[in-house]
Chain A
Amino acid sequence: MAQALINILDHWGLHGLAQQGWLWYLVVGLVQVALILALVMTCVAVYTWMERKISGRIQDRLGPTRVGGRFGWLQPAADGLKLLCKEDLVPAAADGLLFRAAPYLTFCAAFIPYLALPFAPGWVVQPMDTAAFFILAIGGLEVFGVILAGYASGSKWSLYGAMREAAQVVSFEIPLGMCVVVPVLMAGTMNLTEIAQRQAGWLTSWNLVNPFALVTFFIYMTCATAGTNRAPFDLPEAESELVAGFMTEYSGFRWSMFFMAEYSAMFLLALLGALLFCGGWNGPIPIATMLGLTPEHNDIAAFAGNFLGMCNLITKGVLGVIFMMWLRWTLPRLRIDQVMTTCLKYCVPLASIMLVGTMVSIFVLRGGLSHPSKPLEMPAKQNQRSEGDCKLQIENCKLQIEEGRASPLLSQHPLSSNFQFSICNLQFAISSLSREGAC
């Protein structure tokens, strides 16, 4: 992605800017963050409107109709304006510093995972080898801001809400993590780009087709709904018991930060689910490949293919969010003990069974870890590494492989099949690197 931005800068005659190293880093970083922020904020605005419309439809009423034309599509703008104009209160009993910091912490924790989330092959802010793990690790910190908010408000409602949130989110993180491990095992990597690329082709190549992954997907969606405090798991902000839970004392902009964090976390988990289970940017029908929009043809075709893929992924994410909204307005709220029962007595054992089942099926079907199920197809990554650097790494890898095969020590080792596996990975790294070096 960074390389594409440099090309665009060059194209605009801003070559001087690209020469200035520090300024270039700054511009590229800011543009990427602005793109992601624009996407997330737009989606949040649309989701608030969708939530109203869908709830209206489900409850047999119209939802917003007045603001901006027939369908009330300007409602988010009106809401935003209202929230900005509201008085920003800090209760006298509150711990001022923590009370002010909490909404921003929550929002940061909901937003940072997008930096590791790929939207199309190569279209990711920071390509990461451990993207799935990183997203889980950061996403789990969202509860921190909520607990701070509940504690610092100096109100009993807030504290109760925060404690419920803590108990719920910390519990549901366990099955959520197990669910994410299932597709990671199937792909043999935590790199989200690679996990999605392995599902390229028709609907039948999606992870969802695997019976274990299918069950896991439903557990994943349950845990995602619980992890973002959406109904039927919205105990932390149960308005009939706790006024508004941890958000009771917040108003105006700070309150809207919590709101944005909730919607962006929903969108994030829906996108992650799409990447892990539903093929990512690879649609049920490979339209981009059928139209010939692949990197083999030319840059424009590759760009168009990536763009189609991104639209595909975002559509899946939006569908996931709509599914969560549908759940919210259909199911009644659970009691706290029922929430815990759902997690500990249903989700965790089911996820464990699926995890073990996936492991066994992979081991039986592939005859051990030595043979990857599918030939790897990695897109040419767009990185700003120099050609010499690439060549050096290729040489290093080759050296390692040759020496590894020559080494009698490792072939005698009982784990030599495992070593074969890592050799496969190295070979794959070489092929991708040489492709990068070529372009």
Chain B
Amino acid sequence: MSAIHWDSFFFLFFALVTCVFAVAVVVSNNIVRMASYLVASLCGVAGLFFLSGAQFLGAMQLMLYVGGTVVLLIFGVMLTARGPFISMQSSGGQWVLALLTGGSLLAVLLQTVGQVRPIVEPVPVAVEVAAANPTTTQLGAGLVGVRTDKVGQSSDDAKKPVGYLLPFEIISVHLLVVLVGAAFLARAKRRGGEGGIRR
């Protein structure tokens, strides 16, 4: 009896979870159910990341995307909880637009998939390799421009170790400004008492 490739098995499993729940998001009408299916789909993607040994990326996926969707869910519940289980109906025009956008993205992705070299030989179990080669250190060094994976190569990439530190800082400051702005807009307006700000 031939051995089961657990890598393939779990890849198919997570891929199936991702796709099925992604379709469920589109098909469903209830906004909270949609968000729940979206969470399941994104968790499937995180599972794929973990499977391919990108543990940091997988944890990031859970933290940012899944956590972000959970917050979205909170707002969804807060804003729509007036009636019990509000359902959303999308009009025909929206369907056409969505199909156009999604279809064009799918076309690009399919083309890319066709260009990827198929992996013929079974690779070693990615998780074990990842445990031996910590990617987090490499990611951190790469962020400040030190490419540990390209050391010694005389390629163009290694010659300009600029990194992503400046864009990262700019985005951080930008987000901070957005946060402060949101807090300023959302706060309760004072009635112009002593020391209060008149608007």
Contact = CB atoms under 8 A, between A and B. Distances in A.
Nearest to B46: A137
Interface in B20-38: 30, 32-33, 36
A235 to B, nearest CB: 16
A94 to B, nearest CB: 9
Interface in A369-408: 381, 383-385, 389-390, 393, 399-400, 403-404, 406-407
Interface string A327-350: 000000000000000000000000
Interface stretch (B93-101, B107-115, B142-150, B189-197): B142-150
B17 interface: no
A138 B78 contact: no
A143 B71 CA distance: 10
Given A140-B67, A407-B152, A422-B146, A134 B59 contact: yes
Contact of B32 (A148, A191, A400, A426): A148
B123 to A, nearest CB: 12
A95 interface: yes
Interface string B119-137: 0000010011011111111
B5 to A, nearest CB: 9
Interface of A, helix, strand, loop or mixed by DSSP: helix
A210 interface: no
A190 interface: yes
Given A98-B32, A147-B77, A151-B81, A409 B159 contact: yes
B36 A148 contact: yes
A137 B152 contact: no
B74 interface: yes
Interface residues of B, number: 48
Contact of B128 (A141, A166, A384, A406): A384
A129 B62 CA distance: 16
A25 B6 contact: yes
B39 interface: yes
Interface string A96-137: 011001000000000000000000000000111110011011
A404 B39 CA distance: 42
A263 B158 CA distance: 50
B73 interface: yes
B62 A137 contact: yes
Contact of A144 (B33, B39, B128, B151): B39
Contact of A97 (B6, B33, B146): B33
Contacts of B136: 129-130, 190
B116 interface: no
A154 B146 contact: no
Nearest to B2: A22
Contacts of A93: 84
Interface in B22-64: 30, 32-33, 36, 39, 55-56, 58-60, 62-63
Interface in B63-104: 63, 66-67, 70-71, 73-74, 77-78, 81, 84-85
B178 interface: no
Given A190-B136, A403-B152, A137 B67 contact: yes
A419 B140 CA distance: 11
Contacts of B36: 98, 101, 148
A170 interface: yes
Contacts of A190: 136
A163 B4 contact: no
A22 to B, nearest CB: 4
Contact of A127 (B131, B135, B148): B131
B59 A95 contact: no
A413 interface: yes
A410 interface: yes
A294 B124 CA distance: 32
Given A95-B30, A148-B32, A422-B148, A130 B77 contact: no
A313 B66 CA distance: 31
A400 B33 contact: no
Contacts of B3: 20-22
B73 A418 contact: no
B57 to A, nearest CB: 10
A180 B148 CA distance: 27
A433 B59 contact: no
A308 interface: no
B56 A410 contact: no
A383 B131 contact: yes
B10 to A, nearest CB: 10
Given A393-B132, A410-B146, A415-B144, A404 B55 contact: no
A425 interface: yes
A311 interface: no
13 contacts: A22-B3, A140-B62, A140-B67, A147-B73, A151-B32, A162-B77, A166-B74, A170-B71, A389-B124, A399-B152, A404-B151, A419-B146, A433-B132
Nearest 5 pairs between A and B by C-beta?
A: A403-B152, A22-B4, A129-B134, A137-B62, A137-B63
Given A190-B136, A418-B146, A422-B146, 19 more contacts: A98-B32, A126-B127, A129-B56, A129-B134, A129-B136, A141-B67, A141-B70, A154-B85, A163-B74, A170-B71, A393-B132, A400-B148, A404-B148, A404-B152, A407-B151, A413-B146, A415-B144, A415-B145, A418-B141
